[in-house]
């Protein structure tokens, strides 16, 4: 009997859109790996963001008509919701892959574990309860260094939504997950998360790249990701 690979379901960060993962989806497909790229941006424009994200994620997977087992791949701030995403599906989930992502903190909010000055900064640049687009959190040269392709950067930035500041205060879902997990670290910003994943006994792969490498170096990221999708079979 042929072992059919699980479909990799790519979930973009709530602060970005599918353009940040679309090149990776193409690279996985070119390697012959089944892949589903979701767009859940519509869910992040009002609180409660977590609850809305989970519901729309489950509807999007169901509406896609995807068949067979799944492996969920969450980028950045999508990572903490992966167990809840898996729990919301009827389709079997073989494993979770954290792509340069935050780890789950069940029952705790982002604010609970963030430096107070970071929260104060985001609050200071928010207007009418909305944080500015993700790209405006940084100096322009920081993003252009990561994404020198002007057209690609414009596409990624153009999709970035204004997310309610309330998201940072929302407790993350408390959902048990006992299946396989793995971690793909793209750049030094996620060194701590990768170290914690390794301490939990998860397979960890490290690339010498940056947070948006799924868009700028999709072939390298896909090649590193495919073995983790296999490991996630358990």
Residues of the chain with pLDDT under 70: 1-3, 231-234
The 10s digit of each residue's pLDDT in 169-208 is 999 999 989 999 999 999 999 999 999 999 999 999 999 9
The 10s digit of each residue's pLDDT in 67-81 is 999 999 999 999 999
What is the domain partition of the chain in residue ranges? 7-231
DSSP code for 217: S
Cβ–Cβ < 8 Å for 225, 97: yes
For residue 33, the model assigns a pLDDT of 96
What does the alpha-carbon distance between residue 69 and residue 4 come to, in Å, rounded to a whole number?
A: 9
Superfamily grouping for domain 7-231: Alpha/Beta hydrolase fold, catalytic domain (3.40.50.1820)
The model carries a pTM of 0.95
For residue 234, the model assigns a pLDDT of 45
DSSP code for 209: S
Q: Is 58 helix (H, G, I), strand (E, B) or coil?
A: helix
Cβ–Cβ < 8 Å for 187, 211: yes
Half-sphere exposure of 84 (CA within 13 A, CB side): 21
Q: Please count the other Cβ atoms lying within 10 Å of the Cβ belonging to residue 136.
A: 14
Q: How far is CA 22 from the centre of its chain?
A: 13
Cα torsion through 151, 152, 157, 159, rounded to 10: 110
């Amino acid at each position: 009997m042929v072992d059919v690979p699980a479909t990799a379901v790519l979930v973009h960060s709530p602060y970005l859109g599918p353009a940040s993962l679309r090149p990776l989806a193409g690279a996985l497909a070119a390697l012959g790996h089944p892949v589903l790229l979701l767009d859940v941006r519509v869910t992040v424009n009002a609180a409660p963001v977590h609850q809305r994200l989970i519901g729309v994620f489950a509807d999007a997977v169901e509406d896609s008509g995807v068949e067979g087992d799944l492996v969920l791949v969450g980028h950045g701030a999508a990572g903490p919701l992966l167990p809840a995403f898996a729990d919301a599906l009827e389709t079997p989930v073989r494993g979770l892959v954290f792509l340069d992502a935050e780890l789950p903190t069940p029952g705790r909010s982002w604010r609970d574990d963030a430096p107070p000055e970071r929260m104060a900064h985001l609050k200071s640049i928010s207007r009418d309860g909305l944080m500015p687009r993700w790209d405006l959190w940084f100096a322009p040269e920081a993003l252009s260094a990561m994404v020198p392709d002007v057209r690609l950067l414009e596409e990624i930035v153009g999709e970035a939504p204004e997310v309610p500041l309330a998201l940072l205060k929302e407790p993350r879902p408390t959902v048990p997950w006992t299946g396989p997990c793995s971690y793909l670290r793209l750049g030094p910003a996620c060194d701590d998360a990768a170290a914690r994943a390794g301490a939990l006994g998860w397979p960890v792969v490290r690339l010498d790249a940056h947070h948006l490498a799924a868009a700028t170096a999709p072939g390298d990221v896909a090649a590193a990701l495919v073995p983790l999708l296999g490991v996630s079979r358990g």
